[in-house]
Structure 1
Amino acid sequence: MQTSASDLGAPRGSTSSGLSRWFSGQSIARLAGFGVVIFIAWTLLSMVMPPMFFRSSQRAVVDVPTTLVTTPIEGTVASQRLHIGDRFHAGDALVDIQNQNVDRSTLVELTSKRMELAQQYDAVSTQLGASRIRLATADQQMTKYQAATQKMNDANLSGIRSKLAIANTQIDAQQDIVNRDSTLAAAGAISGSVSDTSKYQLSELQNAKAAIQAELQAAETDSQASKNKVFFDDKDNGVSTLAHEREDLHNTVDQLTAQASALQQSQSTIDQLIAKERDRVDRMSNFEIKAYGDGVVKDVLAPPGTQVSAGATLIRAVDCSRAQVVAVFPRSLSDSLLPGTRLKVRVDGVDHPVGASVTGLLPRASDGDQARYFVPFPSIESNEIYALATFDKPLDANAQGDAVQSGSVQGNNAPGDGTQSGSCKLGQWVHVSIDRPWTNRLQAFLGGHMPGLSSGGSQS
């Protein structure tokens, strides 16, 4: 049986008609409808369960707080020790400021006070020298007078002691006479009146001896007083006056010595204050600004020769060890971005995601807040927030810091518009995602919004 040409062409014709029906307008409309339904379903699910679908941010930038090197005084920048891109450490000298208008009034006042004290000390020293000369003269005169007086007292004592010895001799002789007369009178050889006369003479000699002893005691007292420089007799008026004058001179010398010592101590104190004030004036006239931390110079705002006022910023620098990531997230994710939340950051040039931890959330960032950072924040909408996070370790820690032009990232620039800055990678746009499995997010969502289903879901 032979097959006709029409029979052979039938299946080929039916296939062509089926393809035509498949690509007909009705089928295309049906596919478009399916696409619209899927889009609407995705939109509804995104609105109902945003944490399940939006957990990353493409609008994130590497940023770091800016270190501002300022000047505490006004003056002229004499030299800049570092240039853009140079790295410095705490204690390194950065800038030299010259100021010829430093207030020197305190130094002038201290110098005047020093001159006044010097004049007072010279006057006291002159008076002290004169008083010491007078005191030495009084001491010499006092020594002469005292030696003469002591010599006279010694001679007087010697004479009185001789008289006392004679009196003792006379008393002894008269005592022998009295004893003899008493014996003779008892024997009747002489009359009793003779014996009484002898006894009366002995009594007179004894009285005379007592007077001499009293005179000797007075002379000894005068001699001892003279040795002790005590004068109380009328004949010692001149010596007594000289002794009082000498005592007054002693007191004057002691007082002037104390005044001179006090003036010397005051001068020493003033000299120390003058030295400190001169050192302050020298430092303020040629002030050296040192770094109080580590960092890399990014901007030099006051080159040599610039006239600056107190508080002016000279250098803007960054510390790469404090690098952060600033990411924009929907406000609905604020509960999932609490401090300590782990993030994954994908950075161009780094093979693996870098770990980071959320340190805080900002509903908005004013110009003042952003001024504390080196790179401006990405723009934000009313239903978005900023998430600030710190890296677990520095980005590309082995790389050397390069210069970054300020304003490399402005507003909502596309990734890659900014200039990278060495190890910090400042201004580089990155991709940030919440480091949390979708099963945990689903369980958290169900537990927070549908508590009746959370237990059932966990059991199933």
Structure 2
Amino acid sequence: MISAVVPPIVADQSDRAIVNAPVKLLTAPINGDIESLSTAAGREVNAGDELAHISNARLDRTTLIMLEQKASDARQKLAATQEKLSSDLSYLAKLNGEIDGQLAQMKSQFISQIEELRAKVAESDSLGGAQKAQVDRQTKMVERNIASMDMLNPTLKRYSAARHNTDSEKAKLDQKINQLEALEKGIYVGDDLLSLATLVQKRRDIDLDSKRLAIEATELSAQLADQKGPIEAERIRLDKLSEAQVHVPSQGMVLSVEASEGRHVRAGDALASLVDCEQQFVVAIFSYRQGQNLAAGTHVRIDGAPFKSGIVTSLVPKTSDKLDERYAVPFPQTERREMYAIVMPEQKDGDGLRTESEEAGQSSPCAVGKWVTVTRDNGPAVPSMSVVWRQLATFVNSWGSANAQSLHERTDAVIPK
């Protein structure tokens, strides 16, 4: 009873220790069917290895179709607008040529008419002067009673008619001059300019329509440019949702596989759980009385683990099911007045995580679930009785095997074949 009760209370050694490591849950990033699953429970994997390939053929493309339809409508409307704008500009160029030709013709015609009217005004002035001279001569003759008023009245009427004719020609001349000046300013007055005014009005209407079409084409181009962003983003989103490859984030060992090939999964469904071998640690059970001796920072020796030594990082009084779910194996069950010592590996020269199998030429970076023995450094030599009995049993077994082998060899030497 003494050997069973006293040593666990004061022992600096515990064989109730197990190698543990955090577990990472690998989930499906998209909805779809698992086309390939290249892993199995217990398999060791490296960072970047492909775990699964998921494809989704039942992808909803309604949003992309709607966006592309809007873009197609805008593109067709833009093409029609640009074609109509090009037609208007071509027609406008022809109108400008026709108007320029008629303007030059009308200016030349007005200049000729003005010269003709100026000649007629000069002629009317000359005729009016001649009539005035005749009126003056006959008036003097009537004053001298040489002629009668019957002779003077027709002459007065002809003189008045000549003056009116001169005024009429001057009015025509002024009208043509005003028309020419107005024509040069872009104002079209008179019946002879009606056809030209119609062409100019049509040109104005076509020009306004072309400007409106140019603005509409600019708006449609900007609308198309704005729609390219959402369409491209939607295509990228669909590409991501249509196919995905799940890669291993870090080196470790596959603890369990939750899916199979051909299975339909939803985003967030578990595919596998990965033991993070780079974060291995040891959970050891000690008595509460060893709390002061196993404070954080205490160095310990570890037998049977991938790492030969470690440092106590924390003491945990108890665990829970929720905490155990985060690790590869549950913490060992404690008895009354016992606690957990969390031991992290102490790596030296890069060899702290090599296992015995690795040293023999095999790759085995994970020793999760392996029972080990933890011994406090620089402490009194109070071993665990279970360790003592196990070592004694190992010694007896090895001694018995050696004796049996020696007896067999002597027997073979005595008895002839």
TM-score for both structures, normalised by structure 2: 0.63
Aligned equivalents of 2:341, 2:181: Cα separation in 1 = 103
The question of 1:71 aligning with 2:25 is answered no
1:252-276 CA distances to partner (integer Å, 9 max, x unpaired)?
A: 2122123223323433543554344
Match of 2:310 in 1: 355
Is 1:321 paired with 2:278?
yes
Measure, in 1, the Cα distance between the counterparts of 2:318 and 2:182.
Answer: 101
Residues 294, 158 of structure 1: CA spacing in aligned structure 2 closer, same or farther, 3 A cutoff? farther
| Match among 342, 345, 348 for residue 388 of structure 1 | 342
Match in the other structure for 2:375: 433
Select the residue among 338, 354, 364 that pairs with 1:422: 364
Conserved in 1, the CA contact under 8 Å of 2:33 and 2:265? Answer: yes
The answer to whether residue 18 in structure 2 is matched with residue 61 in structure 1 is yes
- Whole-angstrom distance in 1 between the partners of 2:206 and 2:19: 86
How many residue pairs are counted as aligned between the two chains? 326
Secondary structure in 2 aligned to 1:364?
A: coil
The one-letter code sitting in structure 2 at the alignment partner of 1:99 is: N
CA distance in 1, matches of 2:28, 2:310: 38
CA shift, 1:95, in A, is 1.0
1:137 deviation in Å? 4.2
Q: Are the counterparts in 2 of residues 395 and 425 from structure 1 also a CA contact under 8 Å?
A: no
CA-CA distance at 1:330 after TM superposition: 3.1
> 1:341-392 CA deviation, whole Å, 9 max, x = no partner?
1331322277x9413341x343332222211111221112353332323212
CA distance in 2, matches of 1:138, 1:233: 20
Choose the corresponding residue for 1:152, options 84, 91, 109: 109
Relative to structure 1, the CA distance from residue 63 to residue 132 in structure 2 (aligned partners, 3 Å threshold; closer, same or farther) is same
Question: Which runs of structure 2 are paired with 1:62-101 in the superposition (5 Å)?
Answer: 62-83=19-40, 84-90=42-48, 92-101=49-58
Shift in alpha-carbon separation, 1:153–1:348, aligned structure 2, 3 A: same
Q: Where in structure 2 are the equivalents of 1:272-291 lying within 5 Å?
A: 273-291=230-248
1:345 aligns with 2:287: no
What secondary structure does 1:97 align onto? strand
2-structure distance, mates of 1:398, 1:150: 112
Q: For residue 103 of structure 1, give the secondary structure of its aligned residue in structure 2.
A: coil
Deviation at 1:298, TM superposition (A): 3.9
Larger relative contact order (Cα-Cα within 8 Å, sequence gap ≥ 6) = 2
CA contact (8 A) 1:357 1:392 kept: no
Identity %: 26
| Aligned partner letter, 1:375 | V
The aligned counterpart of 1:367 is 321
CA deviation string 1:182-205 (max 9, x = no partner): xxxxxxxxxxxxxxxxxxxxxxxx
What is the identity, as a one-letter code, of the residue corresponding to 2:303? V
Does structure 2 retain, via aligned residues, the 8 Å contact 1:344–1:434? yes
Shift of 1:107: 1.8
Determine the structure 2 residue equivalent to 1:142.
99
- Is structure 2 residue 204 aligned with structure 1 residue 247? yes
Change (3 A) 1:427 1:146: same
Over 3 Å counting, the alpha-carbon distance change for 1:114 and 1:319 in structure 2 is: same
Could you list the per-position Cα deviations for residues 285-335 of structure 1 after superposition, in whole angstroms to 9, with x for gaps in the alignment? 222223333334343332322232321221222232211111223345445
- Please, what TM-score do these two structures have when normalized by structure 1? 0.58
The answer as to whether partners of 2:21 and 2:277 remain within 8 angstroms in 1 is yes
Cα distance in 2, alignment partners of residues 389 and 242 from structure 1: 99
Structure 1: gaps of 5 or more residues: 1-35, 167-211, 402-419, 439-460
Q: Distance in 2 between matches of 1:240 and 1:286?
A: 68
Q: 1:430–1:144: structure 2 CA closer, same or farther, 3 Å change rule?
A: same
Q: Residue 396 of structure 1 contacts residue 424 of structure 1 at CA under 8 Å; is this kept in 2? A: no
Query: 1:257 is aligned with what amino acid?
Result: A
User: Whole-Å Cα distance in 1 between the matches of residues 263 and 338 of structure 2?
Assistant: 43
Deviations 1:405-457 (A, max 9, x none): xxxxxxxxxxxxxxx9922211111222344556xxxxxxxxxxxxxxxxxxx
What's the C-alpha RMSD, in Å, of the aligned pairs? 4.2
Moved more, 257-266 or 315-324: 257-266
Letter of the 1:323 partner, please give it.
Q
**Residue type of the partner of 1:121?**
L
Q: CA deviation at 1:71?
A: 0.3
How far 1:80 sits from its partner (Å)? 1.9
Q: 1:58 to 1:232 in 2, by over 3 A?
A: same
Aligned AA (1:396): R
Match of 2:252 in 1: 295
- The alpha-carbon distance between structure 1 residues 325 and 242, as it changes in their structure 2 partners (threshold 3 A), is same
Indicate how the Cα distance of structure 1 residues 257 and 294 shifts in structure 2: closer, same or farther if over 3 A, else same: farther
SS of the residue aligned with 2:96? helix
- Tell me if structure 2 keeps the 8 A contact 1:398–1:423: no
